[in-house]
Chains A and B, each alone.
Chain A
Amino acid sequence: MEKEVFKYDNVATRNFLVATIVWGVIAFLVGLIAATQLFYPDLNLDLPWLTFGRLRALHTNGAIFAFVGNAIFAGVYHSLQRLLKTRMASDLLSRIHFWGWQFIIISAVITLPLGITSSKEYAELEWPIDIAITLVWVVFGVNMFWTILKRRERHLYVAIWFYIATFVTVAVLHIVNNLELPVSMTKSYSLFAGVQDALVQWWYGHNAVAFFLTTPVLGLMYYFLPKAAERPVFSYRLSIIHFWALIFIYIWAGPHHLLYTALPDWAQSLGTVFSIMLIFPSWGGMINGLLTLRGAWDRVRDSAVLKFFVVAVSAYGMATLEGPLLSLKNLNAIAHYTDWIPAHVHIGTLGWNGFLIFGMIYWLLPRLYQTSLYSEKLANWHFFIGTLGIVFWALPMYVAGFTQSMMWKQFNPDGSLLYGNFLETVTQIIPMYMLRATGGLLYLTGAVLLVVNVVRTVRTGTLLREEEASAMPLAPRYQKEEGEYWHRWIERRPVTLLIWSMVVILIGGAVEIIPTLKIDSNVPKLAAVKPYTPLELEGRDLYIREGCNACHSQMVRPFRSETARYGEYSKAGEFVYDHPFLWGSKRTGPDLHRVGGKYPHSWHYYHMKDPTIMSPGSIMPRYPWLFNHSVNFEDIVPKMEAMVTLGVPYTEEDVANTVATAQAQAESIAAVLNQDENIEVLPEDEIVALIAYLQRLGTDIKVAAN
């Protein structure tokens, strides 16, 4: 039989690889700037688009979707062709995929610093970009499945299963979490509110980590690790079990992000149980990866690529053990909202994702350019500096997280908080922030060495654009006829029945449920909780624009240490009009859920102008532009209308009087400011709307109590 000669497309792989490196360096740099601002806030130069709240989203999106995303695609486009012994199905789709993805990233780079955000973590991009992501994702899927259909290799290697899982799951997650009602091209509101929105968000957030940062990268590991080690994976059987077990368990672990929140207890416990169960498949995968190198440790000593892989797989093991442990309630009570969580996350991203990707780049690039790596030594330096970077990043953050959490919970013998001023717990850990930034700098330095190495390597070689390969065509599948009696047919029935009945039930369920979502009868309604006034709504959007939720939570947990510091713990019913929810996930600053009425208007005025006036030593940025930008009250009208569509009980009258109501409230706040401290503000100033929102926060219950 004649072998078929065909060509692998290396151009798409190269393009994604270059994009990985470029965006990677940018994402690391943005991260470094943001980290530096936490001990040197002036670094933002008082420019709105350089403030921490906006940069953080840029950093996370850049690292996840631009750096890791492009690397995944590079790895998939390279390995898929070779595993299936066929060229990617369509060069056009490959090109659309590549440029579409870069277009999305550029849109993010523009919109996020401008404060155009939906505020949902790792899903901050606004609805037009969400649609673009969906389209590009479909292009990727079509290209991948089409390639699978025209394969010359019958067996789908386990890496491909990881890619498929990534595609399917991310598609569903992305769509569900981004169900939102557009108000304008740059603004939309989440379809869900409060607890519901939080649950959807963290179901997404957890699974985005699972299916964007874990499964595809595991696929890459199962391809590139054996390739680089030149030996088959330790146990292929184990890798298959690893895949199926991971897929079936991962999806349920989401609620562990919401422990001690207003989420029902049973849902929290469910999340914990499934998180603990995740340890088994995850460690199975890690052990499989490490044991692949058994008997080849001498090679690890000589090869930078394998060194990167070893640290990456070890980091995967650490992160997947730590994650489930953090989902235990008592540990979570300490770690949540502190710097422990970023430390945990960065073990995963810097260690697992970053190092696996660096290893892949060093292995892949010389092959694409038909040359050898410019300098193995430089790659080794990258490895050592990068590893040091991870250590300097994570260790101080573990210390910071633990220290701060303990300080939050310290009481005096008389029952008052030992560190009543939140700021004390912040200034305590500033040296740790400095060390962390050093870690980031080291990691970035490593990446710069990578760039040098890559540029030099590329110069010595020429790109093999079309790589010739040959393989036998796929042999036809011959199924024996015998034994296909009626009982075989009947045996298959239950399985077919199972699948179809589940599909039918699911569709039926969805049809019934979706209409009931906006008017949820089951979140305990609190009579005192009222919708926001137009001005407060506008202030809330400013809160979202500035990314306040990056540093401030709005969720007082039912602990004595928290109720003593902030006030009454948060109830599910208080958030029913929060589209989207703004619970936050990190307390770089104090919780704000009970901040309403705690300080006079003027305090907020001065504090936003320069936080150090009210809290000397604060690391919060100044927001001077809030004082010279003005709100157009007319713009609030469509927002009110959107809220009505989402089920917020504004009356027609409320909507009709939007401008007047807002004007009146703004004027009264301006009057109070003038009266108390002789401050001159225009009612249209953004600061007024923000003050209105902050003073409203968490006050409904107080009103009821009075």
Chain B
Amino acid sequence: MPEEQAVVARAASGDRRAFEQIYRAYAPTLFSYVLVPMLGDRDDAHDCLRETFLAAYRHLATFTWHEGGLYPWLKTLAKNKARDLLRASGRRQRLRGAFEEHLGTAGSNEPKNPAEEELQRGALRVRIESVLEELNPRYAQVLRLRLLEDRSREECAAALEVKVGTLDVLLFRACKSFRAAADKRGLEVVTEL
């Protein structure tokens, strides 16, 4: 965000327009790269995003400016809000479709801004490709076509020379196989937070 430090200072002193600038700059990234992977649910991610920015507005005066800018601070707030929601909703719900642990972005690799989040996604695709190479070629193909290349069911079925109905079975088997291979390679696919 241009002149971020000045914008943050204005927002911290109660300037609502400055705060809106921050919101518009970072909310989409927090939603797509932090909250959806952690929660696996659009509505929950939406609720957490709102709570994140309300908390940010209340506590912005306590933020101390540093080189990394505001994004890491907002990201920590968002993660805390997501964890609060997961704790409140219970263990069963937290498993559903959440995949934050799969991203393997902990520690020093933690993205510091939206551009780095995008770079991390590129790195993730490389890791995914390396796992796909170990799979049964048909499983790898169904995952590539259906999930990475966004081909329709009919196209996938034609490419794999199966009936459309059989594609669901192939997809299910391929997902199980991917999970096992990823476990072996250290690309975490644990389903617990």
Note whether A and B form a binding pair.
Answer: no
